[in-house]
Amino acid sequence: MLDFRPGDQFAAGHVPGSINIPLSGQFASWAGILLGLSSRPLLVATSPQQLSEARTRLVRVGIDDARGYLQDGIEGWVRAGLNLAELPQITVQQLNEHFGADKFQLLDVRRKPEWETGHIEAAAWWPLEDFKTSLPQVDRNAPIAVLCKGGYRSMIACSWLRREGFRNVTNVIGGFDAWEEARLPFVTEVPVAV
């Protein structure tokens, strides 16, 4: 299932095992990269207009054979008496408090140039585009906090990890941008000329 609702809506309640790629960002590109052009996803939308837009954008990248869509979206799922899954989210301030106390493994899913420009020192790095071929080398049983630049890719990564059996996954709201804005410490791997 491909759920393209905004990340906050997905976090509040979604069909277990579904992948969230919000329509607001590079939706079709990420769907093509992660799901593959031969995928036949079942679509989850909040309106006929949203469904139409998603289908149009998917066709543009070559995903033109969706299985169908979830009738009446999440509301229909709930009316049928089926359970929703939730995805926890934390702020960068909460992450800083818990990460320092070794309560979370931190996974950064940004691209290499972003990582080299600045990252949280003890974070593990695994770019989102690599999820299709292999999963990050992190402890499945320990709590994992996932971040990207602003929260879009980390939500995709969280949903992917949950689908792959990682149960204790949390999204970092605002990502590395929020971390920098809060003036929290980070390191860089790119030499700076003075």
Residue 103: band (very low, low, confident or very high) from pLDDT cuts 50, 70, 90: confident
DSSP-assigned letter for residue 84: P
Residue 194: band (very low, low, confident or very high) from pLDDT cuts 50, 70, 90: low
- The structural domains of the chain, ordered by start, are 2-79 (3.40.250.10), 89-181 (3.40.250.10)
For 7-35, what is each residue's pLDDT tens digit?
A: 999 999 999 999 999 998 899 999 999 99
Of the candidates 43, 23, 21, which has an alpha carbon nearest to the alpha carbon of residue 34? Answer: 21
d(CA 138, CA 140): 6
In the predicted structure, residue 86 carries a pLDDT above the cut 90: yes
Name the token pair of 21.
Answer: 């790629």
In the predicted structure, residue 99 carries a pLDDT above the cut 90: no
pTM of the predicted structure, to 2 decimals: 0.92
For 162-193, what is each residue's pLDDT tens digit?
A: 999 998 999 999 999 999 999 999 999 766 56
For 141-156, what is each residue's pLDDT tens digit?
A: 899 999 999 999 999 9
d(CA 12, CA 87): 7
